[in-house]
């Protein structure tokens, strides 16, 4: 079809609903001889200039909530808390982060032990099970991070009240692990606390580590020891390019995600917190959404990009269940996600269960917990998929704006004549027919970008 059709307002509405995944058929598309698919509707709206290239329909199609949460947020109620405001604590995150929900600190102990403190925003104090905020968060599953906007799982007003370091002193749920020099845990505990938190970017924290300042040196030492123990238990380390995609009506920016050591230090501390919380829950027979993962399907050796790619493909999907089980990819005998209750609903559920136990209240049963987990996981899956498709959409916009640019690509996999190429500058994989073996670096040009189909063509230069 070459002619430009004239659409009535009713036809446009119908086609837009199909493009957004809100209805399955379109008589207007059928009359135009076009497939009645969301992709076909999207392509027509782009061709007619009725939708800008910056518009993404994936959150709509996957039924991810795109409106902010508009519910009242209570104040923190007075309650007994362990006062830790005398211990320095640091919320370390990417520049521009708006929802600081975890912080780290250390406390020297006798006998050569060091207490690692991981403080987490006490969101469950404001979002009890069954409350309107809890039901809304469960329906969303997770915060939606799109290149052009962020839609919180919880209201911004809650982030302002509970975010660590946003107030002079912050209520927290804190996990403590008493670690020896080799990274072994002598004891774990969970407390309701009050903390004083300083916010830092990863680069600021790295500068303090490079200057040999405490507690950053101690945090790095503990993290290295912990990681070594997990690797000895079979934990997999995967290092592939990561980027941040920011988009607006006028263009797209894709930047490499810096990887200073402090990023991995913080990640390891969060892993330890999840392990510690899981141990505490198991010791107290407390049902939690334990994260489990089967053994990798095969062993992949080497540190090349294509080896890292192949290693990631061996990982089984993480499953959540109300009883403990091993997480082989992390090299842990049990684990829960506990450090992002403002952003992930299952983390919030962990907090609700821990809070109930600490208060001597009745926690959710395993059966009730499993129902909450299933609903939240389904909704969170849609959110994560919407994020992935939206990032690809905007990355293709960037590519289309630079048709003559040459890109570096690495062959990471192949099936017969068809290879998969990874573009490190974009963290994007593309198909291409080439005889090149995995691990080969190529220079390519990218063209024939089709935003509606999220496709493009690569050719060797």
- Give, rounded to a whole angstrom, the gap between the first and last alpha carbons of the chain: 33
pLDDT tens for each residue of 199-245: 999 999 999 999 999 999 999 999 999 999 999 999 998 999 999 99
Same domain, 217 and 266: yes
Name the domain boundary from 389, 413, 429. Answer: 389
> What's residue 5's pLDDT?
80
Q: What is the mean pLDDT of residues 124-148?
A: 96
The dihedral through the CA atoms of 412, 418, 423, 429 has a sign that is negative
- In the DSSP assignment, the letter for residue 294 is P
In this model, does residue 2 exceed pLDDT 60? no
Residue 442 DSSP code = E
Is the domain of 442 the same as that of 324? no
Buried/exposed 85-116: b ≥16 CB within 10 Å, e otherwise: eebbbbbbbeeeeebbbbbbbbbeeeeebbbb
Task: Please give the sequence-ordered ranges of beta strands (E in DSSP) within 134-257, or none if there are none.
Answer: 144-146, 149-151, 170-179, 185-195, 197-201, 243-248, 251-256
Does residue 430 fall inside a structural domain?
A: yes
Beta pairing class for 243-248 and 197-201: unpaired
Extract the tokens encoding 149. 């906007």
The verdict on residue 200 lying in a domain is yes
Whether 77 is in a domain gets the answer no
Angstrom distance (rounded) from CA 137 to CA 380? 10
147 and 259 fall within a common domain: yes
Q: What single-letter DSSP state applies at residue 3?
A: S
CATH number at residue 454: 2.40.50.140
Q: Distance between CA atoms of 179 and 202, rounded to whole angstroms?
A: 24
**Encoded tokens for 87:** 């211990």
Tell me the average pLDDT across 399-416: 95
Q: What is the pLDDT of residue 237?
A: 87
**Residues 119 and 174: beta-carbon distance below 8 Å:** yes
**pLDDT of 180 strictly over 60:** yes
Q: Domain holding 40: CATH number?
A: 1.10.10.10
Q: Are residues 445 and 337 in the same domain?
A: no
296 and 417 together in one domain: no
Is 254 within 8 Å of 398 (Cβ atoms)? yes
Residue 181 lies in a domain: yes
Same-domain check for residues 108 and 214? yes
Q: Are residues 171 and 113 in the same domain?
A: yes
Q: What percent of the chain has pLDDT over 90?
A: 90
pLDDT band of 431, cuts 50, 70, 90: very high
- Is there a single domain that holds both residue 341 and residue 426? no
Averaged confidence pLDDT in the chain: 95
* Rounded average pLDDT over 43-60: 96
DSSP strand pairing (243-248 vs 251-256)? antiparallel
Kindly indicate the confidence band of residue 3, based on its pLDDT and cuts at 50, 70 and 90. Answer: low
Find the mean pLDDT for residues 26-40.
95
Does the residue 56 lie in any domain?
A: no
**CA torsion angle 145 150 153 156 (round to 10):** 150
* Total domains present in the chain: 3
Please state, for a pLDDT cut of 70, what percent of the chain lies above it: 99
CB 223 within 8 A of CB 265: yes
Name the phi and psi angles at 339, rounded to 5: -100, 5
> Is the per-residue pLDDT at 138 higher than 90?
yes
Over its C-alpha atoms, the chain yields an Rg (Å, rounded) of 24
- Region for residue 120 given its phi and psi (left: phi exceeds 0; alpha: psi -120 to 50; beta: otherwise): beta
Specify whether 362 is located in the same domain as 454: no
In a domain, 158, yes or no: yes
CA–CA separation, 92 vs 104, rounded Å? 8
pLDDT band at 378 (very low <50, low <70, confident <90, very high): confident
H-assigned helices in 154-215: 156-162, 202-210
**247 close to 150: Cβ distance less than 8 angstroms:** no
What pLDDT, on the 0 to 100 scale, is given for residue 6? Answer: 85
Question: Do 340 and 436 reside in the same domain of the chain?
Answer: no
- Res. 1 pLDDT band, cuts 50 70 90: very low
Q: How much helix, strand and coil, in percent to the nearest 5, is found in the chain? A: 35, 25, 40
Dump pLDDT digits (tens) for 277-320: 999 999 999 999 999 999 988 889 889 999 999 999 999 999 99
One domain for residues 442 and 345: no
Same domain, 376 and 428: no
Residue 106 maps to a domain: yes
Query: Cβ contacts of residue 289 below 8 Å, gap of 6+?
Result: 320, 321, 322, 336, 337, 346, 349, 350, 369, 373
Q: Pick from 359, 389, 419: which residue ends a domain? A: 389
Asked if residue 71 belongs to a domain, the reply is no
Q: Which helix (H) or strand (E) holds 358?
A: helix 345-358
What is the bridge-based pairing of β-strands 82-83 and 185-195?
parallel
Task: Give the structural domain span for 448.
Answer: 402-460
């Amino acid at each position: 079809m070459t002619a430009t059709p004239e659409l009535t307002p009713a036809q446009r509405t119908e086609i837009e609903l199909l493009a957004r995944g809100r209805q399955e058929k379109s008589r207007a598309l059928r009359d135009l001889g076009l497939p009645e698919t969301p992709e076909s509707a999207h392509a027509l709206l782009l061709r007619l200039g009725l939708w800008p290239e910056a518009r993404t329909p994936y959150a709509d199609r996957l039924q991810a909530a795109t409106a902010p949460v508009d519910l009242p947020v209570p104040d923190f109620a007075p309650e007994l808390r362990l006062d830790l405001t005398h211990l320095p604590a640091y919320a370390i995150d990417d520049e521009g982060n708006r929802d600081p929900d975890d912080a780290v600190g250390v406390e020297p102990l006798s006998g050569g032990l060091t207490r690692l403190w991981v403080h987490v925003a006490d969101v469950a104090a404001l979002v009890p099970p069954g409350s309107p905020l809890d039901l809304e968060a469960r329906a969303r599953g997770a915060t939606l991070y799109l290149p052009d906007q962020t839609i919180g799982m919880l209201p911004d007003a809650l982030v302002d009240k509970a975010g660590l370091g946003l107030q002079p002193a912050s209520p927290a749920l804190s996990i403590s692990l008493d670690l020896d020099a080799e990274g072994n845990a002598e004891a774990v505990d969970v407390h309701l606390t009050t903390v004083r938190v300083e916010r830092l970017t990863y680069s600021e924290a790295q500068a303090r580590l490079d200057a040999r300042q405490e507690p950053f040196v101690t945090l790095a030492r503990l993290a290295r020891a912990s990681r070594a123990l997990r690797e000895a238990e079979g934990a997999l380390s995967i290092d592939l390019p990561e980027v941040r995609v920011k988009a607006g009506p006028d263009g797209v920016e894709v930047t490499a995600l810096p990887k200073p050591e402090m990023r991995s230090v913080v990640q390891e501390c969060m892993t330890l917190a999840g392990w510690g919380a899981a141990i505490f829950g198991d010791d107290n027979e407390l049902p939690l959404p334990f994260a489990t993962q089967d053994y990798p399907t095969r062993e992949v050796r080497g540190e090349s990009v294509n080896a890292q790619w192949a290693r990631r493909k061996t990982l089984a999907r993480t499953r959540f269940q109300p009883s403990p089980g091993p997480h082989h990819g992390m090299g842990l005998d049990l684990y829960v996600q506990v450090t992002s209750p403002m952003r992930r609903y299952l983390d919030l559920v962990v907090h609700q269960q821990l809070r109930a136990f600490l208060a001597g209240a009745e926690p959710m049963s395993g059966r009730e917990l499993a129902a909450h987990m299933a609903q939240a996981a389904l909704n969170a899956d849609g959110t994560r998929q919407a994020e992935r498709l939206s990032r690809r959409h905007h990355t293709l916009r960037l590519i289309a704006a630079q048709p003559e640019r040459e890109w570096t690509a690495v062959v990471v996999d192949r099936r017969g004549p068809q290879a998969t190429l990874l573009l490190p500058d974009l963290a994007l994989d593309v198909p291409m027919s080439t005889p090149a073996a995995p691990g080969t670096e190529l220079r390519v040009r990218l063209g024939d970008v089709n935003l509606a189909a999220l496709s493009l063509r690569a050719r060797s230069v």
